[in-house]
Structure 1
């Protein structure tokens, strides 16, 4: 086991739990490839792993965590509840199933994967989340893909404000209004698809900055996220890229670099619209 890279910053969530600002995501990684990818990530120094029930790879994540020998309190594990399992009782059952697949007695962060507004069950779901949190089986609870209207409705009807909202966020979809809402309410912004699934790696603004700094375009975009204050969870199954994506703390972007990347925002989504996806 390698020693964790010491300079990965942590953010403090609104309940006092600390979370690494850069983690490793396993979206679209087949279960039989997940253990190897997560093992590479852990050996490289990642300590935050993000999965979800719908990914079908919680078992692979659990195998890698168990084999790593890394103390549980040095790991930060996130998983998510799928839309079909929303509702109070079904959420509790789905959470137990996720814990079983992961081989853990608690997770560090549990997220409602989508608001799924047509089902209109996220408020009952959140009550189950509050129970799970109160029992210490999730150290923090949050949501994913929630828009301000969903968040307002949830917070108006509950005692616990989500600690995190994990949303599609990259230079083409910068979510400025949503990030401002999060800042006002103490909700951490976490970016999924932070590299826009590679769509921006050839952009002239990004490649110009990368060339000047002697960095890859992916490293430049990840650094942009970090300097904005986002939590970021890049995904790769390629060992070299897994390591490169973590090597983003030895340089900084200038204000001009940030402005050049900020100018790429055109509202372009890769994933579904949270208001209509169910």
Structure 2
């Protein structure tokens, strides 16, 4: 999936578990084929998931990040309206894998990649309730760290320019550049709030009911941190069609400026997916294209 990806085979995972967590030697290990871009994921028995970072990082730096992510996962679990995975253990570098890795609880269910909730107003209402709950969490005096999305839109100028420079055969690049020229100038007055930060289909679990698709769980919670509240509004474009999107906006009582910044953050994320994952992860590339189509459709 990445040019510098660190491979990890099922046999390697089996050996690491047996060496470091002998209490789980009897549990079967099974690799999962997911569209996730950060971790390779394995099942351990019925109740646990193993996550192995895909890209190389210094072990001491990665260990500190994984411990911070575990803390974030515990924090989000306390306020989330739906189940979230919980950290169980931290694995260490070992046989044929040079970095720390994590063990967490397994959440059963189907993702919004597998069951599309785009037309479900009930799902949109559930999603609004989740976002509202996450925003109420205590920031503990913390603010945006300066890394990733959720700070100043203009910090992404270089990245957007690079993405568009590689996408000439895939996107209407002149139109995309005009959109970004407007998005990057959007002002911000809202203070940071706690955000999941990556509300894309692969991180959302759903369930089918007689009333339609409903929200059932939330994955990849280690990024729970303060950021622009508009960052969570990427979900309106990644996950919802027109009418449910309007339901989400009304439930959140979002003003025009914050709504437009949400469009801008969705643009930043989507434009980076189309070309980068075109061959390595087609599902992510298609997500980027669909989100951009939805953004273009409203002007």
Q: Same fold (TM over 0.5)?
A: no
Query: What is the TM-score when the length of structure 2 is the normalising length?
Result: 0.26
Query: What is the TM-score when the length of structure 1 is the normalising length?
Result: 0.27
